[in-house]
């Protein structure tokens, strides 16, 4: 926050009273800055800058939901059983498959069961539960309303929340959409209707500047919705004609921002400010749960039941072109990762493939003992992938497979980690962990 430098009209800096006012304003600004430093929040109603977003982990799979941790260098190994490089471990009150999001000194999660839905805020340094927001009294969803059917494994809290440093928004399989401030106080809430979704709603939220995006795919009347994050006011909506359990990504493609979504039929691109559809490529099939990846003008989509497709979207004046397709070793729930000319494809049965991104050439394949639901995250030239048993496999982005090690969490992991600076925040089936190098 910038300290105020103006004085009231007619006063001068040499005026005694003016000096008093200036000192008071400076002290107030310093106090606000200190509050921002302590809480990791912003004030004043302004959208977060690009730098703010890059220093945090505001969405599922991080900034832009693309799985790349910028400026991060977390530890290479740890051991939860021994406590080595585990800064803290805390129990999560209620089950959920949602992933952690991080802003400043705060980590946010959701949890839910048959009788309750919650948003949690943990202290990023100590793991202490700072507050819990109980999702009750949402307009349009009275107590005793019928709950939708969901998979037991997924539950009611599969979608990951989002934050812009001022607000935290969360959605549940019930269709309850809630926004709170950084202190856990409700700002607004609404019910989007119980989704007609035979596995349960799982698409994670995304925020960008002042907007909140909701991919609300279902059997009938699916929609992509944009709301004003501060007020909940609808901004635009776009019709969706196919179901999915995927989540959106946000990319900058030659000075144009695009919101890219997958469905059981196609991959679609929308203008995040207006909802106008830029393009659509029909190349998908089956029950789509993984999300897209993007790098260097190419969108990558892959799902069990449909081939991996590399789509060149770099030319705004022509239709996107499919560069290559491959129908082997396809992801199920985990999403692909694209970075530095490489494409990483995880699978539910443990095989990980590394392809040359522009050509689809297979550079290497590695079979692990367990499969992956958690999506891979890149930090520098390292890739961190957590298998279903909770073992974090670390390898290098390279033409050849270069194994850097494995670290055990001691419990199953389905969620995707949040990687910020020199730390990794990991949600297991029972606990939230903070991994970081211990002080020597």
Query: Tell me: the pLDDT tens digits for 311-337?
Result: 999 999 999 999 999 999 999 999 999
* Residue 49 φ/ψ, nearest 5 degrees: -80, 165
What is the per-residue pLDDT across 382-438, written as a single tens digit (0 to 9) for each? 999 999 999 999 999 999 999 999 999 999 999 999 999 999 999 999 999 999 987
CA dist 249 and 269 (Å) reads: 10
Sign of CA dihedral 45, 54, 201, 172: negative
Taking Cα atoms as reference points, which of 409, 295, 322, 288 lies closest to residue 67?
Answer: 295
How far apart, in Å, do the first and last CA atoms of the chain sit? Answer: 34
pLDDT tens-digit map of 79-129: 999 999 999 999 999 999 999 999 999 999 999 999 999 999 999 999 999
Cβ atoms of residues 296 and 280 within 8 Å? no
In tens, the pLDDT along 360-387 reads 999 999 999 999 999 999 999 999 999 9
The residue ranges of DSSP E strands in 97-248, in sequence order, are 101-103, 106-112, 117-123, 129-134, 162-163, 167-171, 176-181, 186-191, 206-208, 211-216, 222-228, 234-240
Q: Is the dihedral of CA 248, 251, 257, 263 positive or negative?
A: negative
Query: Among 157, 160, 63, which residue's Cα sits nearest to residue 108?
Result: 160
CATH fold, domain 40-71+79-436, is Methylamine Dehydrogenase; Chain H (2.130.10)
Residue 386 structure tokens: 């957590």
Range ranked top by mean pLDDT from 17-26, 37-46, 170-179: 170-179
- What's the token pair of residue 251? 């990319």
Q: Pull the structure tokens for residue 18.
A: 């003016």
CA distance 5 to 131: 36
Question: Quick one: what percent of the chain has pLDDT higher than 70?
Answer: 89
Distance CA 344, CA 352 (A): 7
- For residue 151, the cross-strand partners are none
Structure tokens at 130: 């700072």
Residue 104: C-alpha distances to residues 30, 52, 122, 318 (Å): 18, 9, 11, 41
Q: Where are the domains of the chain?
A: 1-39, 40-71+79-436
Percentage of the chain beyond pLDDT 90 is 82
Which residues partner with 206 through β-bridges?
Answer: 213
């Amino acid at each position: 926050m910038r300290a105020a430098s103006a004085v009231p009209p007619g006063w001068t800096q040499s005026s005694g009273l003016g000096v008093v006012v200036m000192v008071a304003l400076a002290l107030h600004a310093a106090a606000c800055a200190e509050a921002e430093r302590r809480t990791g929040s912003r004030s004043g109603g302004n959208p977060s800058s690009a730098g703010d977003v890059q220093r945090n982990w505001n969405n599922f799979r991080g900034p832009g939901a693309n799985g790349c941790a910028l400026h991060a260098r977390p530890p290479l190994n740890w051991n939860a059983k021994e406590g080595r490089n585990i800064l803290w471990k805390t129990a999560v009150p209620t089950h959920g498959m949602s992933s952690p999001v991080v802003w400043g000194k705060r980590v946010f999660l959701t949890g839910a069961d048959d009788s309750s839905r919650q948003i949690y805020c943990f202290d990023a340094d100590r793991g202490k539960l700072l507050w819990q927001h109980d999702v009750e009294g949402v307009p349009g969803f009275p107590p005793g309303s019928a709950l939708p059917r969901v998979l037991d494994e997924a539950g009611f809290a599969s979608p990951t929340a989002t934050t812009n440093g001022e607000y935290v928004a969360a959605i549940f399989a019930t269709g309850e959409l809630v926004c709170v401030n950084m202190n856990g106080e409700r700002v607004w809430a609404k019910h989007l209707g119980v989704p007609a979704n035979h596995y349960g709603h799982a698409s994670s939220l995304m925020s960008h500047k002042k907007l909140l995006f909701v991919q609300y795919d279902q059997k009938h009347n699916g929609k992509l919705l944009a709301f004003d994050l501060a007020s909940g006011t609808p901004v635009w909506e776009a019709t969706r004609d196919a179901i999915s359990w995927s989540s959106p990504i946000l990319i900058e493609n030659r000075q144009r921002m695009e919101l890219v979504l997958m469905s059981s039929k196609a991959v679609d691109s929308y203008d995040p400010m207006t909802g106008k559809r830029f393009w659509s490529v029909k190349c998908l099939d089956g029950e789509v749960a993984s999300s897209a990846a993007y790098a260097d003008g190419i969108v990558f989509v892959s799902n069990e039941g449909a081939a991996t497709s590399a789509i060149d979207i770099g030319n705004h004046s022509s239709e996107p072109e499919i560069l290559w397709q491959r129908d082997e070793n396809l992801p199920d729930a985990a999403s692909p990762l694209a970075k530095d000319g490489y494409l990483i494809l995880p699978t539910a049965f443990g095989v990980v493939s590394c392809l040359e991104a522009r050509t689809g050439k297979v550079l290497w394949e590695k079979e692990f003992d367990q499969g992956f639901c958690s999506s891979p995250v890149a930090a520098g030239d390292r890739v961190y992938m957590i298998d279903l048993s909770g073992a974090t496999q670390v390898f290098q982005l390279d033409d050849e497979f270069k194994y850097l090690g494995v670290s055990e969490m001691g419990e199953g992991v389905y969620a995707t980690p949040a990687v910020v600076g020199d730390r990794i925040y990991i949600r297991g089936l029972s606990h939230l962990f903070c991994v970081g190098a211990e002080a020597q």
